[in-house]
Amino acid sequence: MQLSLGPVQYFWSREKIFSFYAEIAELPVDIVYLGEVVCAKRRQLKLQDWLEIAEKLSHAGKEVILSTLTLIVADSELSQMKKICHNASYAVEANDMSALHLLEGRSDFIVGPHVNMYNAETLALLHETGARRWVFPVELSRQTLAQLQQQKPATLQTEVFAWGHLPLSFSARCFTARAFDLARDQCEFRCEDFEHGMPLYTQDQQNLFLVNGIQLQSGVPCNLLPELDELRQLGVDVLRISPQAKNMAAIIQAFRTALDNDATTAELPMPEDGWCNGYWHGEAGMSWLTN
């Protein structure tokens, strides 16, 4: 089983992005996804910058995948997506149906977690068009995964989002901008002030969501490390960790240790508000259940 690092979902500075991936180059992940997947207004890094980072990671022995935007709302964004999909150096993760259309015929693309894939017929169709791996949608349960694993094409790899704040929804409006009474087009890049998203609490102070520009995430990170034995039994090929601003090395090392030692548990730094795994168990996503 391989370990992947998903794309950065937050608006970090150019310097922080380069510094972050310099650290990742030295950490034991097998696959690294690069690129902006949330908001096209976050333009501190151009495609050439991402390709520069990709080259350094490739030299460090990582498999590099370029990820596309999840929500396309302008011709300029479609033009950028075409450049990513038509690059000749790296495989692409498609997070939108328009990207899948552009990638049809390539045999090396990955279908990201934001594309609706809920049945074996869809997986077979995507595999026929060239997909070699799919990322299990975060809101589905282990029972659904077990069924799809039995029915999917044998050579289609499966990747599961195993750690991090779950990407739940995207909107044409910017939630962070609205929190400051700003329109999306005049957002002043307020999301840059929140390197790990802006917490949204209920009236009884439960951490319900993270507001991240046009995206809403789970308030607490998902943690499927305790489910590692079942993930192995289900034949999952890749476990995905989602980047965050702190404790990245410790989180990656905990997963690597568990994978390398055929263990089912490893010590992880506990977030202040805990973890969630409800979707995996077919319950409310924000729940934390133990077997």
Per-residue H/E/C for 150-201: HHCCCCCEEEEEEEECCEEEECCCCHHHHHCCCCHHHCCCHHHHCCCCEEEE
Confidence of residue 107 (pLDDT cuts 50, 70, 90): confident
Three-class SS state of 79: helix
Predicted pLDDT at 42:
92
> pTM of the full predicted structure?
0.96
48 occurs within a structural domain:
yes
Per-residue pLDDT at 37 exceeds 90? yes
Q: Using CB atoms within 10 A of its CB, is residue 186 exposed (0-12), middle (13-18) or buried (19+)?
A: exposed
Please tell me the predicted confidence (pLDDT) of residue 92: 98
Residue 290 belongs to some domain of the structure: no
Mean pLDDT of 142-164: 97
CB-count exposure of residue 53 (10 Å: 0-12, 13-18, 19+):
buried
For residue 236, tell me if it sits in a domain: yes
Look at residue 24 and tell me whether its pLDDT is greater than 90: yes
239 in any annotated domain: yes
Flag whether pLDDT at 193 surpasses 90: yes
d(CA 72, CA 132): 23
pLDDT > 90? residue 124: yes
Domain assignment present for residue 74? The answer is yes
pLDDT at 262 exceeding the cut of 90: no
User: What is the C-alpha separation between 40 and 84, in angstroms, rounded?
Assistant: 14
For the segment 106-132, the average pLDDT, to the nearest whole number, is: 94
Least reliable range by pLDDT among 183-187, 194-198, 234-238, 270-274 = 270-274
Residue 270 has pLDDT above 80, yes or no: no
Residues 6+ apart with CB under 8 A from 59: none
Neighbours of 44 (CB within 10 A): 15
Residue 55 in domain: yes
Q: How many domains does the chain contain in total?
A: 1
Question: Does residue 263 register a pLDDT over 70?
Answer: no
Q: In the predicted model, is pLDDT for residue 267 greater than 80?
A: no
pLDDT of residue 194: 94
**pLDDT value at residue 271:** 80
Query: How far, in Å, CA of 217 to CA of 152, rounded?
Result: 28
Asked whether residue 51 is domain-assigned, the answer is yes
CATH number of the CATH domain containing 54 = 3.20.20.70
Task: State how beta strands 157-164 and 238-241 pair.
Answer: parallel
Instruction: Answer yes or no: is 288 within a domain.
Output: no
Domain span including residue 23 = 2-165+220-270
Q: What pLDDT, on a 0 to 100 scale, did the predictor assign at position 264?
A: 59
Q: Give 266 or 82, the one with higher predicted confidence.
A: 82
